[in-house]
Amino acid sequence: QQQVKQSPQSLIVQKGGISIINCAYENTAFDYFPWYQQFPGKGPALLIAIRPDVSEKKEGRFTISFNKSAKQFSLHIMDSQPGDSATYFCAASGEGGSTLGRLYFGRGTQLTVWP
């Protein structure tokens, strides 16, 4: 079954608006939650990541909000720009031999920011 569920599948936002992408997980052993950004023709690249000991992490216009009790986390892009148009993947990982450092990815959100 899918370990990380991501929504929405696609998102259209006006320039200057806020983009919000949500993810949920079930496995309480997960302790690392990164977001990857993928531009057309490129491989995904790490954008920002959070560990469950904090509820929020901000890097520039990008913020992860994390709700441990609800097992949910979200990416907020403030003042969205056309250059942010990309596919965004949430992911989760847990330490230990059973996962061996693999990431479990959501299905992705295609973000389009209109000028």
Partner 1 sequence: DVKVTQSSRYLVKRTGEKVFLECVQDMDHENMFWYRQDPGLGLRLIYFSYDVKMKEKGDIPEGYSVSREKKERFSLILESASTNQTSMYLCASSLLPGASYNEQFFGPGTRLTVL
Q: Which residues bind partner 1 (CB under 8 A)?
A: 6, 9, 30-32, 34, 36, 41-46, 49, 51, 89, 93-97, 99-103, 105-108
What is the closest distance, in whole angstroms, from the C-beta atom of residue 99 to partner 1 in the complex?
A: 7
Residue 17 vs 48, nearer CB to partner 1? 48
Answer for the pair 72, 23: CB distance below 8 angstroms, yes or no: yes
Residue 71 vs 107, nearer CB to partner 1? 107
Structure tokens at 28: 């309480």
Residue carrying structure tokens 């560990």: 51
Residue carrying structure tokens 């200057």: 16
CA dist 43 and 36 (Å) reads 10
Across the strands, what pairs with 72? 24, 67
What is the closest distance, in whole angstroms, from the C-beta atom of residue 54 to partner 1 in the complex?
A: 14
What is the closest distance, in whole angstroms, from the C-beta atom of residue 52 to partner 1 in the complex?
A: 11
